[in-house]
Amino acid sequence: MKPDDHRLVTVRNPDLDVEAGNQANWNRPDRRRWGFHNLHRLSRYGLSLRATNVLPLTKVIDRRIGDLPLVRQLTGSTMFSGMAVVRDQTVLFETYAADFGPDRPHSIQSISKTTMHLVCGRLVEEGLIDLDAKVSDYLPEVASGYAEATVQQVLDMNVINNFNEDYADPWHFDATPGSTVGYGREEIAMGWRLQPEGEQPFSCRAFAAQLVSDDVTNTTGVTQYKSPNTDIAGWIAERVSGRNLREHLLDIVEAAGIEGTFHISTDCEGVPVIAGGVSLTARDLARYGGLLARGGRGVNGAMVGSPAFLERTRTGRGQPRYEDRDDLTYHNQLMTNGRWVSHGGYGGQYLLVDPASRTVIVFFSVLEDEEGYDASYYPEIIAMAEAILDLS
């Protein structure tokens, strides 16, 4: 046999390929739970960071939390993975599903976006970002989908363009200029699914930069949630600070005193996927939440956020997040009701922080329906968190 006659046969990566429906195989309903528990090692590209000094936590259980009906209901569900309630350095409540545990990282999905509240808040305070400036003032290479939007519009998810974050139709795409682009295309940039045969990988910034719009002004009266907005915010932060996102994220990890590993996906150019790529343990997400509660003041004394920016976020308010909940608004990469700040993540994740009591509530779960999204589910988690805060 000639050497040229011996050919090796390969197959497309089975975890990242799209073989049925609209989801990558790791994200199909029957595999999503396993996927969320292991996304830190499934994405095509990644970065891991660890802190020099760790914030130790002491467990002093408040039995009233576990006795709350909503806590029992939500932690007793088959969707549940893990939950922790932490105040300063004290764990008040903690519980995990049988197939999960305190040392296991979990994908936090869009909770990752809150890193840009800290980074951009600090840069605003330092005078490096003007919230009223247009995106094109900082990123002249972007197309009409962002060029005329202000930085504030981007941070508030208040931009209209041709990206549609519809989890029911994530693969919507055709090559017609200006046509709607679905979420699945961004997942290719994020390294969470393979590009179609014959297509080359592309970065998150290249993807965001080519989005278009006839008018970026949002007249709908509600938030227009688009993950590429966060990529734009991170790109601006890099450009005005002269520091890459890895450096900003390492500052956050050090300031939060994270004990385990801060895992984050990157795109094909090595840029961290700040729109949804982070995986953390429940305790480490609580440590991170404590950093938000302190307005960005780190355990090491460093400021990686801005207390003034956090206060403006809680009181300035943005557009309503949901059509039927005008009490919940989205502002500066956080949702708020004027008291606490929070952020949800696709598939059933939630982080809620009450700065006044310094209480952080972390909830991990995995929705196993076709879309991985249930609009009625997150209000239940919020109601549970508010019941916990009312015990204080």
- Give the pLDDT of residue 20: 66
What pLDDT is recorded for position 176? 66
Residue 199: DSSP 8-state: P
Contact between 362 and 91 under an 8 Å Cβ cutoff? The reply is no
Is the alpha carbon torsion for 191, 192, 197, 199 positive or negative? negative
Determine the pLDDT at residue 177.
67
For the cut 90, the answer to whether the pLDDT of residue 168 exceeds it is no
Q: Which of 7-11, 159-163, 174-178, 319-323 has the lowest mean pLDDT?
A: 174-178
DSSP H or E run through 151: helix 151-155
- Cα separation, 105 vs 362, in Å, equals 13
Spatial contact of 204 and 103, defined as CB atoms under 8 Å apart = no
Give the tens place of pLDDT for each residue, 204-238: 999 999 999 999 999 999 999 999 999 999 999 99
Give mean pLDDT, residues 192-211.
Answer: 95
1 has pLDDT over 60: no
HSE, side-chain direction, 13 A CA sphere, residue 17: 7
Q: Which pLDDT score is estimated for 175?
A: 58
Q: How far apart are CA 273 and CA 231, in angstroms?
A: 8
Q: What value does the mean pLDDT take over residues 230-256?
A: 98
Better pLDDT: 140 or 196: 140
> Does position 323 have pLDDT exceeding 80, yes or no?
no
Q: pLDDT confidence of 325, banded at 50, 70, 90?
A: confident
**In the prediction, which pLDDT does 21 show?**
66
- Above 70 in pLDDT, residue 4? no
Question: Do the beta carbons of residue 190 and residue 43 sit within 8 Å?
Answer: yes
pLDDT of residue 249 exceeding 80: yes
- Mean residue pLDDT of the chain comes to 94
The whole-number pLDDT of residue 23 equals 87
pLDDT digits (tens, 9 = 90+) for 105-116: 999 999 999 999
**pLDDT, tens digit, for every residue of 74-104?**
999 999 999 999 999 999 999 999 999 999 9
- Quote the pLDDT of residue 330: 95
Domains along the sequence of the chain with CATH: 25-389 (3.40.710.10)
Strand order of the β-sheet with 262-265 is 46-49, 262-265, 278-280, 106-107
Report the percentage of the chain scoring pLDDT > 90: 86
CA 234 to chain CA centroid, Å, is 13
CA 288/CA 370 separation, integer angstroms: 31
pLDDT at 7: 84
Q: How confident is the model at residue 5 (pLDDT cuts 50, 70, 90)?
A: low
Q: What is the pLDDT of residue 380?
A: 96
pLDDT of residue 316: 81
pLDDT at 335: 96
Q: Kindly tell me the sign of the dihedral angle through the C-alpha atoms of 261, 195, 162, 139.
A: positive
